[in-house]
Amino acid sequence: MSNNYLDIIRPGINTTFQDKGRDHLYHIGIPFSGAMDNRNYLIANKLVNNNLDSAVIEFAYQGPHIKYSGEKINFAVTGDVIFLIKKKDTEIEGKCYESYQIENGDEINIISTNKSVYGYLALGGEFDLKFQWNSCSINTKANIGSNDGKKLDVGQRINLKKINSNKDIKKTNYINTKIENIRVIKGTNFDYFSEEGKKIFYEKEFTVSKLSDRMGMRLEGPKIDNIVNTNIKSEGLIKGVIQVPADGNPIIMLSDHGTIGGYPKIGVVASVDYDRLVQMSPGSKIKFKEINLSDAETLFKLYEMETQNLLLQI
Amino acid sequence: MIKNISNLGDAALYCDFGNEVNKSINLQVIKYFKTIKEKKFEGINNLTPSYNKLIISYDLKKTNFKEVKNYVENINAEDSIDINSKKLEIPVCCHENFSMDIKRLEEILKLSREKILENFLNKEYFCYMTGFIAGMPFLGDLDENMRAQRLETPRVKVPKGSVALTEQFANIYTFESPGGWNILGNTPLDVFDSSKEDKPNLINPGDAVVFKEITLDQYKNYNEQ
């Protein structure tokens, strides 16, 4: 029995453990998984003096309400999140990108994300979790990862096997920037679409549908007309691929996507914009902007340098 | 041979082996897949072989399109790489409890239930690829007179273990999942087992699979022995 643990009073809507994800498994049908918004995942770990690849609790929209029991420990929340910290007689509103210390009996109540989708809760220590293929990331579709591959549930107890001795309080001034245009690289079936369809793709606005989850983001808007074939022979997918099925509404593959698919690929989201893409909540407007491969590579390098600088400053 | 290499986004190579779907092209894909997988090139984090394509995704923090393309272009996959294929028998129960689309198949194929089963069972199929959902094998080729299109409206939930057909292929649903294939029966066998980390898939690309019919009683008792 561990002396340090969390009890889940309310699990939230889609609350899972996530880490850096798992690779080398696409060929057997297992996707990457891992934290959807990688930058916010890394910052959360850094704020509580964890290794950067430690597991965190990821939540979507409404987060968990938990009660902590055990020795003093630090925690931090990242994203654009509203949450409360309850200690004995007081309840305060917490701020993202700051670490706090909690002790036996304290509660963290993550009310909701604010005009975004995912938030992260990191605790300064290590959860006691099952690893599969070097990752504890939960994939609820294939029941892979920690917690038997299932979302966190009410009444569950989660043990910590280790608590960080470094309990320095940390803070950073990071602000999640909203993005107006999602940059995309032309897909391998771009020429399956009519001239009008291609124009619509790059010039019109699409709306993020409610039917979006860790597997994919469905978009609604003007239909994109296919003039060649609405099916292709099934082939591999990667995250960020934008497929257009026969109904003309694009679907963007996200971290838990099916590993192969048979719809034509009109484009692929540039890696630099992935973290911000996944944060677009239902109802948000998306516009796509074409970018070439070499610009996409350069922009990702800059984004990665920025992430490393942010982490160094914490 | 790879006919063309292009980029799929900024973090993957799209290796095109042509448009046809046949065993010899697929074996080429599998050879490249196995060769690259064994060499463990720094930065490549996933390989997805399919009928006639190989997608190689990489970590953009460690490498880039130019490097990976150059590497793949200089690989010799013609060497006698061991495909290491197995022959497997898969029990399938085609009782009416399971064969949810038999009536539809009878109508489309203009064949009786008995004839459909006779055409399908006891024949050797080749595993082209696995994926979509974890461990799902894509097996072919079905006889010419056994080829039906997908359901117009896919099912929201296809039961785990369903054996289903579409066009020249058969597959097995390793999990309950949405799907639009024509369901012919169900296997009690666990085709995917995530607790076996080194070999979670029973069926792998290059393997040969034969479906053997079992009765409803045999099905029910299958996992109790």
pLDDT at residue B77, as a whole number: 77
Q: According to the model, what pLDDT value does residue A178 have? A: 79
Please tell me the predicted confidence (pLDDT) of residue A231.
Answer: 85
Say if residue B79's pLDDT is above 70: no
Does the pLDDT at position A119 exceed 60?
Answer: yes
Do B8 and A297 make contact, defined as CB atoms within 8 angstroms? no
- Tell whether the model's pLDDT for residue B177 goes beyond 70: yes
Q: Inspect the interface and report whether the beta carbons of A240 and B46 lie closer than 8 Å.
A: no
**B23-32 average pLDDT score:** 93
CB pairs under 8 A, 24+ apart, for B63-68?
A: B64/A297, B65/A293, B65/A297, B65/B7, B65/B10, B65/B13, B67/B43, B68/B13, B68/B41, B68/B43, B68/B44
- pLDDT given for residue B150 in this prediction: 86
Decide if A260 touches B, using CB distance below 8 A: yes
Q: Lowest-confidence range among A42-56, B65-79, B84-98?
A: B65-79
- Angstrom CA distances, B190 to B25, B184, B201, stand at 29, 18, 9
Q: Does residue B11 belong to the interface with chain A, where contact is any CB pair within 8 Å? A: yes
Spatial contact of A158 and A263, defined as CB atoms under 8 Å apart: no
**E strand map for A70-205:** 73-78, 81-87, 90-94, 99-102, 107-113, 118-123, 125-127, 157-163, 181-186
What residue type is A273 in one-letter code?
D
pLDDT band at B83 (very low <50, low <70, confident <90, very high): confident
Query: Chain B contact for A42, CB < 8 A?
Result: no
Task: Report whether pLDDT(B152) > 90.
Answer: no
Considering only the beta carbons, identify the residue of B55, B194, B197 that sits closest to A235. Answer: B55
**Cβ B134–A235 below 8 Å, yes or no?**
no
Whether B36 has a pLDDT exceeding 90, the answer reads yes
DSSP string, B46-111: EEEE-SSEEEEEE-TTT--HHHHHHHHHT----S-------EEEEEEB--TTT-TTHHHHHHHHT-
Q: If DSSP codes are grouped into helix, strand and coil, which group holds residue A31? A: coil
Residue numbers in B near A25 (CB within 8 A):
46
Give residue A130's pLDDT.
95
| pLDDT surpasses 80 at A198 | yes
**Average pLDDT over all residues of chain A:** 96
Query: Which pLDDT belongs to residue B40?
Result: 86
Q: What pLDDT, on a 0 to 100 scale, did the predictor assign at position A235?
A: 96
Taking one residue from A and the other from B, the number of pairs with CB-CB distance under 8 angstroms is 140
Binary contact (B136, A25; C-beta < 8 A) = no
Q: Does B45 touch chain A (CB under 8 A)?
A: yes
Helix (H) or strand (E) holding A219: strand A216-220
Question: B50-60, pLDDT tens digit by residue?
Answer: 999 999 999 99
Using CA coordinates, name the residue in chain A closest to B30: A27
Cα gap A173→A20, rounded to integer Å: 23
Give the confidence band of A118 by pLDDT, cuts at 50, 70, 90: very high
